[in-house]
A and B are shown apart, each in its own frame.
Chain A
Amino acid sequence: NAGVTQTPKFQVLKTGQSMTLQCAQDMNHEYMSWYRQDPGMGLRLIHYSVGAGITDQGEVPNGYNVSRSTTEDFPLRLLSAAPSQTSVYFCASIKGGNEAFFGQGTRLTVV
């Protein structure tokens, strides 16, 4: 099993550009989440999904959109990138009982 696959690993955007971070899991987990990690801030929840067709906001949702059309995929869209969105992004797929499996992360720089 591949587990959680996150792409791309690195990305540089210009302010105002949009992009989609991809996340796919092959473990048939219902729950998936997106986090951003900044120095001294820990992992902050952006959006999460409890199943296909269902998404909800986390702690820091502004500037990001998500959709969950299938169990496997949970893409994160940056609508208009801003320097404040420079961060490391992690997607997680969550097994019932709260064990989270993380992707390798995307290091995003917005200039």
Chain B
Amino acid sequence: GQQVMQIPQYQHVQEGEDFTTYCNSSTTLSNIQWYKQRPGGHPVFLIQLVKSGEVKKQKRLTFQFGEAKKNSSLHITATQTTDVGTYFCDSGGYQKVTFGIGTKLQVIP
């Protein structure tokens, strides 16, 4: 699988503030998947992006795939304490799923 760089590694936000995490690759990606892992839990699939420039929304979460398919972002509007966790992107090929280091989000009430 192709490795991606995920930034930032950590983010603290005040509840109600927005949050964005980015995954960047030096090569063109076939697709990208996003996962969320709550503290003490296991990663849970959020979404897959496949098309160049694709934008998908899930309530307060907005996912984008870059036009060149080399980067992706996850944006959370008006964070809540339930958003706490680590967000991972995965760009693995069909046979191998590898993850970025993740962005750990802390939400201060």
Q: How far is the CB of B79 from chain A (nearest CB, A)?
A: 22
The answer to whether the Cβ of B52 comes within 8 Å of any Cβ in the partner chain is no
Using a CB-CB cutoff of 8 Å, which residues 67-109 of chain B contact chain A?
88, 90, 92, 94-102
Report the count of interface residues on A (CB-CB < 8 A). 26
Q: How far is the CB of A5 from chain B (nearest CB, A)?
A: 12
Segment of A19-27, A69-77, A97-105 engaged in the interface with chain B: A97-105
Using a CB-CB cutoff of 8 Å, which residues 1-56 of chain A contact chain B?
31, 33, 35, 40-43, 45, 48, 50, 56
What total count of A-B pairs have CB within 8 Å? 60
Chain A residues with CB below 8 A from B43, complex form: 43, 90, 92, 100, 102
A32: nearest chain-B partner, CB-CB: B97
A6: nearest chain-B partner, CB-CB: B42
Of the candidates A43, A48, A99, A101, which one forms a contact with B99 in the assembled complex, judged by CB atoms under 8 Å apart? A43
Chain A residues with CB below 8 A from B41, complex form: 105
**Taking beta carbons and an 8 Å cutoff, which residues of A are in contact with B?**
31, 33, 35, 40-43, 45, 48, 50, 56, 58-59, 90, 92, 94, 96-105
